[in-house]
Chain A
Amino acid sequence: MHGIVSVIVVSIIITDFLLLSAGWLKSAIRIVAVQGLALGLLPLFVHQDGLSFRLTAIAILVIMLKGIVFPRLLMRSLREMNTVRTITYYVGPMASLLVGIAVLSSSLWWGYVLPLPDQTGYRLAIPMVFFTIVTGLFLIVSRRQALMQIIGYLALENGVYTFGVFFAQSESMLIEIGILLDVFVGVYIMGVMVFHISREFDNIEAGQLSTLKDWFQNRKELAGKDPES
């Protein structure tokens, strides 16, 4: 039991590294699907009060949602949006990998600092959670495309949900609320917004979603415009 959880935790960390260094949108979608699958298996093996029907239902729901539904939605959005298939960066894959290594090392420090009791017995749980969360945030910030921002958000949610599975099982409904977050925001963002974005722009990049700026960011263009016209 302990062994399988270690395998799952290590594979989630590996998927985070793969996400940071991915070069194609399709592979990023597949990696986040694998991450969701690995997470979905967690409640089956991490339980403080024994495997209950609730945990099994949660596991099945999460596997279906994160492993099947969301990747399908993302793939469909990818097809509809007329975008380049490679990932475009503000921070390149090498630098992202190095940042990931630094973040993993500091997550270890977090793991030592937060005196979470050994009721879980998994030393790597907290570092993995923080690493996944920061990876998600980093992907949102350092990738140009809207689709990669969504994938980063999914990674962030994965991290938060994993924390819930490890440490907040006893509080009623809390994990289910986390899944609810997934469903709402996922369907909302992916289904609705990407549809609108794809209709609005021909070639979608979040770099294009940046026309709204303060005037001093636009002043070169403003200087050319005659204000009295």
Chain B
Amino acid sequence: MKINLLPIVHLVLAMVAAPLLSGIINRTKAIMAGRRGQPILQAYHDLFKLLRKGAVYSRTTSSLFRLGPIVNLAAIITGLLLVPFAGCPGFIAFDGDLVVLAYLLGLARFFVVSAALDTGSSFEGMGASREVMFSILVEPTLFLGLFSLSRLSHSLSLSGILYASGVTGWIIGAPALVAGTLFVLYLAENSRIPFDDPLTHLELTMIHEVMVLDHSGPDFGLVLYGSALKLWLFGALFVGVFSPDLTEAGVWIREGYALAGMVLLPIAVGIVESSMARLRLLKVPQLLVGAGALSLLATILVLG
């Protein structure tokens, strides 16, 4: 009975603990800057505050505007169902679910972008076009990385791909490259420095923030919650690739390892964010193409 409950436990854990991750990132950045910073639970306070507020809708928007955050959240939660955690397969697992995951992320992005374009404001449109341009470069990279891992582990399901490589596997070769690529994607998809500065208040320099500028109240709460879940999702992917072979270890060791990874990753992101500035917009595609070249290299290593 316990084995069947684990995926549900992981799902509940994800939905409850996801907003912690952005808190950890902000705390790390504050500590590195010498401040005390926000409380780690700040994101929860923000969510509850937003849920209590009312929403304001512009007259130029249509129902697509209200649909955007909802579909975004729904798609990401559905994606969470597919991702394995701590060596345990996801809530739903089938052959080819990595493609479904990529497309679910694309669906979420599509609706966010459509909601942004629906406002008719030029700022949102600018953010939408930048977001879409980066996603063109991000998606093949993600596909190539996951494909090379699936070749390596001879499985077409995420639950078979992640947590499958042995220790000798991840020191060198394809999994290491894919892990590097996934870290870059983690930063890109979650709009972290060096791709996007979450703290900027200048609309012209925003990418993701400006797309959701017009959402308010519960809608914005859904957007924030969706971003938090996306952080957890990508974090689970990265930890899955980066983990050694733990099939013999006990349940608590596996859980502990996964949770430690999920906590360490935001700390690493915080350190990266504190040490770099955001890249010039012209350089971002270069970095993404470079990540794409890395995952191509990983694919080459695995083929043949």
A residues with CB within 8 A of B = 3, 6-7, 10, 13-14, 17-18, 21, 23, 93-94, 97-98, 100-101, 104-105, 108, 123-124, 127
Q: Is the CB of B172 within 8 A of A97?
A: no
Q: Considering the chains assembled together, what is the distance between the CA atoms of A148 and B210 in angstroms?
A: 40
The interface residues of chain A, by DSSP majority, are classed as helix
We find that the number of chain B residues with CB closer than 8 angstroms to chain A is 18
- Determine if A123 and B285 form an interchain contact, defined as CB atoms under 8 angstroms apart: no
> Are A3 and B293 in touch, CB under 8 angstroms?
no
Q: Do A10 and B173 touch (CB < 8 A)?
A: yes
A3: nearest chain-B partner, CB-CB:
B172
Instruction: Name, among B283, B290, B297, the residue most crowded by chain A CB atoms within 10 Å (CB to CB).
Output: B290
A127 and B292 CA atoms in complex are apart in Å by 18
Bound state CA distance, A12 and B294, in angstroms? Answer: 12
- Given A94-B285, A101-B296, decide whether A6 and B172 contact each other with a Cβ distance below 8 A: yes
A sample of 20 more A-B contacts (CB under 8 A), given A3-B168, A23-B283, A98-B289, is: A3-B171, A6-B173, A7-B172, A10-B173, A10-B177, A10-B297, A10-B301, A13-B297, A14-B294, A14-B297, A21-B286, A21-B289, A94-B289, A97-B290, A97-B293, A104-B296, A104-B300, A105-B300, A124-B301, A127-B300
User: Once bound together, how far apart are the Cα atoms of A104 and B294, in whole Å?
Assistant: 11
Most buried by A among B168, B292, B297: B297
Are B172 and A123 in contact, CB atoms less than 8 angstroms apart?
no
Q: Which residues of A contact B168 (CB under 8 A)?
A: 3
**Do B300 and A97 touch (CB < 8 A)?**
no
A127 contacts across to B, CB distance below 8 A: 300
**Set of chain B residues within 8 Å of A104, measured between Cβ atoms:** 293, 296-297, 300
B34 within 8 A of partner (CB): no
Q: Is the beta-carbon distance between A97 and B301 smaller than 8 angstroms? A: no
Which residues of the partner chain A approach B285 to less than 8 Å between Cβ atoms?
94
Contacts of A101 in B (CB 8 A): 289, 292-293, 296
